[in-house]
Amino acid sequence: MKETNNKQPVALSEVLDGHNERQQSSPPSPQLRQRAQTLVTTYSTPAALSRQYSPARQQRCTANAYKAVTCAAPRLQDVATAWTNGAELWLMVHIYELGEFAGVREKMTADQVRQTAAIIAGEFYFLKLTELMLFFQRVKAGAFGRFYGTVDPMEVCLWLRQWVAGERARIVAAEEREQRRRRDIAERLALDSDRASRGGKPVPDHIHDQIAAL
């Protein structure tokens, strides 16, 4: 049983206000810079991005788990490159909201929220915002159990690692199989089309249709 103490509830504004800016350790790649620039062009500010991927939109953005993992949503590293500590600030909102949803007696302290966000942003930089929203939805649905008296930051990080190795890994593997299947079909159709054209025959309509459907 965890010891109880009289921690005072913290407001989200206190969590965000106490966050210190941290410089990136290494320069981003050209591809990462391009994705970050696209984010800035699309959303202008971190607040605009947060509204698009807010806790209130978790259910809507994750109604289809497969799409949540395979869609073209920004990754944590994209957000961190676009705005200094933007990924951590986005995570803080969702972590704080998770504590409010859980309704436990003891909430995370402001420092715990900040540290948990920093750990996730550093360890799971490759995850898309929609993937993390799906994870938080799974936690709320009790997929990993329940919190007893307090939201445990280490449990959140452990559960995220389990989700990445479990549900996410299965969806990624299924997507890779689907991509291979599409490439194989495209190659076969291209070969059929080439053979038809060399024989002086028009390419059958069904081949055109199948290529267009890929």
Q: Is the pLDDT of residue 9 over 60?
A: no
Q: What is the pLDDT of residue 183?
A: 85
Q: Is the dihedral of CA 107, 111, 117, 120 positive or negative?
A: negative
pTM score above 0.85? no
Q: Is residue 94 part of a domain?
A: yes
**73 within some domain:** yes
Average pLDDT value over all residues in the chain: 85
The total number of structural domains that make up the chain: 1
Compute the average pLDDT of residues 134-151: 92
Q: Is residue 82 part of a domain?
A: yes
Which range of residues forms the domain containing residue 53? 12-151
Confidence check: pLDDT of 147 > 80 = yes
Confidence of residue 4 (pLDDT cuts 50, 70, 90): very low
Does the residue 191 lie in any domain?
no
Residue 167 lies in a domain: no
DSSP 124: S
Q: Which of residues 13 and 30 earns the better pLDDT score?
A: 30
Residue 3 pLDDT = 44
Whole-angstrom distance, CA of residue 127 vs CA of residue 114: 18
84 within a domain of the structure (yes/no): yes
- Rounded distance between C-alpha atoms, residue 106 and residue 201, angstroms: 75
Residue with tokens 């106490």: 18
For residue 85, which of 109, 108, 106, 114 has the smallest C-alpha distance? 114
DSSP 164-191: IIIIIHHHHHHHHHHHHHHHHHHHHHHH
pLDDT for the residue 207: 57
pLDDT at 199: 64
In this structure, is the dihedral angle defined by the CA atoms of residues 159, 164, 166 and 167, taken in order, positive or negative? positive
* Section 161-167 average pLDDT: 97
* Among 156, 153, 163, 174, residue whose Cα is nearest residue 127: 163
Whether the Cβ atoms of residue 164 and residue 124 lie closer than 8 Å to each other? yes
Pull the structure tokens for residue 156: 């959140």
In this predicted model, which residue has the larger pLDDT, 2 or 101? 101
Using an 8 Å Cβ cutoff, are 4 and 149 in contact? Answer: yes
Q: What is the pLDDT of residue 23?
A: 47
Give me the sign of the Cα torsion angle 192, 193, 197, 201.
positive
Q: 194 in a domain, yes or no?
A: no
Residue 67 is assigned to a structural domain of this protein = yes
**pLDDT grade for 106, boundaries at 50, 70 and 90:** confident
